Amino acid sequence: MPHPDSPSSRSCSPILADPTLRVLVAVALFTYTAQNMLNVSIAPLSRALDLPEWIVGAAVSLAALAVALLSQFWGRRSIAWGRRRVLLCALFLALIAGALFSAAVWLRAGGGIGAAWAAGAIMAARGPFFGASVAAIPPTGQALVAEVTHDEASRVRGASAFSGAINMSVMIGSVVSSLLGAWWIFAPVHATPWFVVVALVIAWAGVPRDGGGADQGAPSPHAPPASAAPCGESPSTGAQAFPPPSRAPRPARPLPPRVSWTDPRIVPWVLGVIGLYFAAGVTQILMGFLIQDRVGTAPDRAVSLTGLMLLLSAAGAMTAQLLVVPRLQWPPRRLLRAGVSVGVAAVAVLTVASAVVALAVAMLFMGVATGLTSTGFTAGASLAVLDDEQGGVAGLVSATGAITWIFAPVSATALYGWQPLAPFGLALVLVGASCAAAWAHPGLRKPPGPLLDGDS
């Protein structure tokens, strides 16, 4: 049986090898499609419903606050409680959020409620409810990726593949939202709960009950390599890497430790990425306004064009993560540096561009930058900590992006109302600072090592 580091195993994606991870990807696909349908619609929707612009930023910032507060909570409990319980709880919250958002828009459009009630309902739905639900998916998936990968190269491939699947859902959400929005501006909002229902059904039917399957059978990075089966080989031909799901109750596991934001193993990775995440938040939340103000597009047509811009960004990220990263085979720190450098150039173009083509090209490369950087960050942070800290660091990685989204939407929309160039100037300064950290921080001058101990 080949060693997991052999060529035949290296070509095997962890997502293809682990059944629970495949289900998680499907759940993420539908959940993030639903979320992105709201993201694409919310800026044009605010004007169509005669709501103040700051509602857009506040709703997204509240969601990001929920993600930042709960990502480590969900990541650690996906190990202690089991992935099924965590995902079902999270998706039920997402269903409530989608239904509340849809009801608020329907009532406001029909004159049933005033602007204040509609604004409050939209902020609650897109904010704490949806934020709390989507906070569970990335750390749950990335913690599982950490369990089924054994070295730096496979960890990078696994993190890239899972993140690429999420970006694929952003692409699908952009396309669906654009098509529905071209037909009726309120259609994406009313379709959102149904996508969540599909995700809930997939999780209910496909995630093993706590106690079986990948929850217990996935090897840790320190597991003996003989327990792994190569891609495409039936587990029955050798030791089973992923036992069939069991319906027996799972014995309780201790809650994994938290990972501190000030942990010196993690700080350089956070500094190298946080400016780019802030810039990505600024560009995405303001794109709906740029399409209307710089290009001169009416609100009803802006939904489709905004969706196209977000689609290009997601396409760039997905291409980087699913095609470019596996071929480059770069270590995490090199991916981080390359990505944030591309991000500086993309933000500079977005600061001054007014033509649709220029905006589109800049958003495409902004996606490439995000794809490279986030893969390097996720894999590098995961490799920097020990086995029992994987749930905590997966939550911290997810929370890092969320923290920038707490401040980016509110500050971007507020600054945009004062001076349209101001939020882009701020984004350019911050992404430049992250670029400097990625290249100069001493903690990124050598590869992370703790998880590699004992692998050779």
Q: Tell whether 233 is covered by a domain.
A: no
By C-alpha distance, which of 241, 257, 253, 258 is closest to 85? 253
Q: What is the pLDDT of residues 62-82, one digit of tens each?
A: 888 888 899 889 888 888 888
Q: Can you give the CATH number for the domain in which 371 is found?
A: 1.20.1250.20
Q: What is the pLDDT of residues 204-227, one digit of tens each?
A: 998 887 654 434 433 334 433 333
Q: Which of 145-154, 264-273, 355-364 has the lowest mean pLDDT?
A: 145-154
Structural domain span for residue 368 = 15-210+257-447
Per-residue CA distances from 227 to 212, 445, 454 (Å): 17, 34, 15
- The span from the CA of 82 to the CA of 273, in Å, is 30
Contacts of 160 (CB under 8 A, 6+ apart): 321, 322, 325, 326, 371, 375, 379
Q: Tell whether 113 is covered by a domain.
A: yes
Number of domains in the chain: 1
- Dihedral over Cα of 19, 24, 26, 29: its sign: negative
pLDDT, average across residues 274-297: 90
Q: What's the pLDDT band for 195 if we cut at 50, 70, 90? A: very high
- The span from the CA of 368 to the CA of 204, in Å, is 34
Q: Tell whether 117 is covered by a domain.
A: yes
Task: Answer for the pair 54, 410: CB distance below 8 angstroms, yes or no.
Answer: yes
Q: Tell whether 246 is covered by a domain.
A: no
- The span from the CA of 210 to the CA of 246, in Å, is 8
pLDDT, average across residues 349-359: 92
**φ and ψ at 232, to 5 degrees?**
90, -10
Q: Tell whether 426 is covered by a domain.
A: yes
Residue carrying the six token digits 């580091």: 5
Q: Is residue 362 pLDDT above 50, yes or no?
A: yes
Q: Tell whether 325 is covered by a domain.
A: yes
pTM to 2 decimal places: 0.74
Q: Tell whether 225 is covered by a domain.
A: no
- The span from the CA of 21 to the CA of 144, in Å, is 7
Q: What is the pLDDT of residues 83-107, one digit of tens each?
A: 888 889 999 989 998 899 889 889 9
- The span from the CA of 404 to the CA of 435, in Å, is 16
- The span from the CA of 343 to the CA of 72, in Å, is 27
Task: Answer for the pair 181, 303: CB distance below 8 angstroms, yes or no.
Answer: yes
Which DSSP category does 445 fall into?
Answer: S
Q: Tell whether 223 is covered by a domain.
A: no
Per-residue CA distances from 316 to 27, 33, 130, 321, 400 (Å): 22, 17, 25, 9, 21
